[in-house]
Amino acid sequence: MIQTFLNYLFRYFLFIKNKNITLRGKLSVKNRPIVHVLNGSSLIVGENVTLNSKNAKYHVNMFAPVKIYIDKIGASIKIGNNTRIHGSCLHAYGSIEIGDNCLIAANCQIFDCSGHNTSLENPSKRLLISGDIKPIKIGNDCWIGTSSIILPGTKLGNNCIIAAGSVVNGVFTDNSLIGGNPAKLIKLLK
């Protein structure tokens, strides 16, 4: 009963009161996520989405709560219907789009900008220059295994599975089983 009330308060103060967040339906929040949506940016959350930051009763250890961080004007994150996100970070400078019916396991990192350019000609500039922004698109029915990293510019078709611990960069077609570091196509599922 107390947990249900706390989840209601999280939803109200973090999502409903924020004019930069659009809820399209029911949202299940398990323990408090970290949510930062800069004015002039947007978070759109579909119907029946779960944000799970509760380590108890989850099959692997979560190192941190769900973190949704949008910190550039005009940036957006869209989360599709029936998608579940467990103890992972989504960080957008530009655009991250996650389709319907996706599973994102604990400890994943999904970010559309590296944060800093390499600045090989003048390494001291690394702290002053933001990296290139490349949108991320994850199709419907995708499953991203625990501790995977989805790098800027990645595009996953529908029904893709990412093996745990993979570092994903590139474009993958529908029904791809992807794994490794760097991640490669292992096989087509259909």
Three-state SS for 93-130 is: CCEEEECCCCEECCCCEEECECCCCCCCCCHHHHHCCC
Range of the domain at 20: 2-188
Cβ neighbours, 10 Å, residue 142? 26
Q: Is the peptide bond before 182 cis (omega within 30 degrees of 0)?
A: yes
Out of 36, 59, 91, 116, which one is annotated catalytic?
116
Measured distance CA(61)–CA(59) in Å, rounded: 7
Phi, psi at residue 127, to the nearest 5°? -75, -15
The confidence score (pLDDT) of residue 7 equals 60
Strand, helix or coil at 133? strand
The confidence score (pLDDT) of residue 77 equals 98
Supply the CATH number for residue 24's domain: 2.160.10.10
The confidence score (pLDDT) of residue 125 equals 72
Measured distance CA(68)–CA(60) in Å, rounded: 20
Instruction: List, for residues 79-98, the tens digit of each pLDDT value.
Output: 999 999 999 999 999 999 99
**116 catalytic residue (yes or no):** yes
The confidence score (pLDDT) of residue 114 equals 82
The count of structural domains within the chain is 1
Low-confidence ranges of the chain (pLDDT < 70): 1-17, 116-119
